[in-house]
Amino acid sequence: MQNTLKSAVTFTGVGLHTGKPVRMTLRPASADYGIWFRRTDVTDRDPMIPAIWHAVTPSRLCTVVENAAGVSVSTIEHVMAALAGSAIHNALIEIDGPEVPILDGSAEPFVAAFLARGLQAQAADVRAIRVLKPVEVRDGLAVARLEPSDMLEIDFRIDFAEAAIGRQERRLNMSNGAFVRELSDCRTFCRQADVDAMREKGLALGGTLENAVVFDGDRVVSPGGLRRADEPVRHKMLDALGDLALAGGPLLGRYTGIRAGHALTNKLLRALFSDPSAFRIEGCGSRVGEKLPGVGVHREDLPSLRRQAA
């Protein structure tokens, strides 16, 4: 069955790149509505923006969706991952600025609020997108690939020169709340040199050591260090789930990302949907539905609560 929130939930914070204050409210929506953004600060044009793969516009640093009127919302990947990882299929996201608040740089604050609010089951079947054959895109050394699987799996590999990051890889079956337990608390990360370069260009104005993990050579600059030894690759998996959520329904397939980013994952979705023989849309029976991300998640699965209890 499809799910929506039982009631509205509001977040306030700043945009990672703009540094501007923003207020965002997620509201329940009817079955088959999907995920939409509404820019409440826009009154002279269409303020509605669909969270769908073909609305994504080119951006190297984050995921941006834009409508035909040129109205956009950026840095949507963390809230999209939280929605997918909490099994929320329908919601209207009202936002009074051009960028989703970064909060602590992870998806856990979103997930915690969703679980506290509770979900409302809806009388409509979830329609999943089953990958029928391998689809792959490349950009230099970066690779993104989808292959057939009975459930969503994410396999990610990164390789950075910084000794504090280095080469990391992880593979996860995303069913049974794995996203919430294993990935939701992992924060966005960057290198100190990248921070300096972005700020010279007027970017990352809302970035702090409290909402991103900053690395400098063999040092973790952010206070408190890492939440997990391989937090960077886990965050890349979080991003991938958020970008894959723009497929318009849960994917049944194995995603492999090698040095992949937001743009390449979107290019992969475009390649998938450009080939009708590569996918099939199907209703989820109980056997398949039980394997979808977010099914059976409980508040006790939140990593912050599990750390406190340890």
The residue annotated as part of the active site, out of 54, 235, 262, 298, is 262
What is the three-class DSSP state of 22? Answer: strand
What is the amino acid identity at position 50?
P
**The pLDDT of residue 306 is above 80:** no
Residues 243, 157 share a domain: yes
Give residue 179's pLDDT. Answer: 96
Looking at the fold, whether 179 and 83 belong to one and the same domain comes out as no
Is residue 115 located within the same domain as residue 195?
no
CATH code of 88's domain: 3.30.230.20
Task: Choose one of 67, 87, 122: the last residue of a domain.
Answer: 122
The pLDDT tens digits of the residues spanning 99-126 come to 999 999 999 999 999 999 999 999 999 9
The residue from 90, 122, 154 where one domain ends is 122
pLDDT tens-digit readout, 205-243: 676 777 889 888 888 988 888 999 999 999 999 999 999
On whether both 161 and 298 belong to a single domain, the answer is yes
> Domain range spanning residue 294?
127-309
Flag whether pLDDT at 298 surpasses 90. no
Asked whether residue 18 falls in the same domain as residue 43, the answer is yes
The per-residue pLDDT for range 114-163, each reduced to its tens digit, is 999 999 999 999 999 999 999 999 999 999 999 999 999 999 999 998 88
3-state SS assignment for residue 288: helix
In this structure, are 51 and 88 located in the same domain?
yes
Domain match, 146 and 108 both:
no
How many domains does the structure of the chain reveal? 2
Identify whether residues 138 and 223 lie together within a single domain.
yes
pTM of the predicted structure, to 2 decimals = 0.94
Q: Say if CB 172 and CB 183 are below 8 A apart.
A: yes
Tell me what pLDDT residue 203 has. 62
User: How far is Cα 264 from Cα 243, in angstroms, rounded to an integer?
Assistant: 10
Is the same domain home to 142 and 176? yes
Q: Which residues contact 188 (CB under 8 A, 6 or more apart)?
A: 16, 78, 102, 105, 106, 211, 212, 213, 235
Are 102 and 13 contacting, i.e. CB atoms less than 8 angstroms apart? yes
| Mean pLDDT computed over every residue of the chain | 93
Looking at the DSSP bridge assignments, the partners of residue 10 are: 25
Q: How far apart (Å, rounded) are the C-alpha atoms in residues 126 and 145? A: 24
pLDDT above 90: percentage of residues in the chain: 75
Distances (CA, A) of 155 to 57, 110, 149, 297: 25, 24, 12, 21
- Distance CA(152)–CA(111), nearest Å, equals 19
pLDDT in tens, 60-83: 789 999 999 999 999 999 999 999
Q: Residue 164 maps to which CATH number?
A: 3.30.1700.10
Q: Cα separation of 33 and 46, whole Å?
A: 18
Task: Render pLDDT for 33-45 as a digit per residue (tens, 0 to 9).
Answer: 999 999 999 999 9
State whether residue 214 is helix, strand or coil: strand
Active site residue 262: yes
> Domain ends where: 122, 154, 170?
122
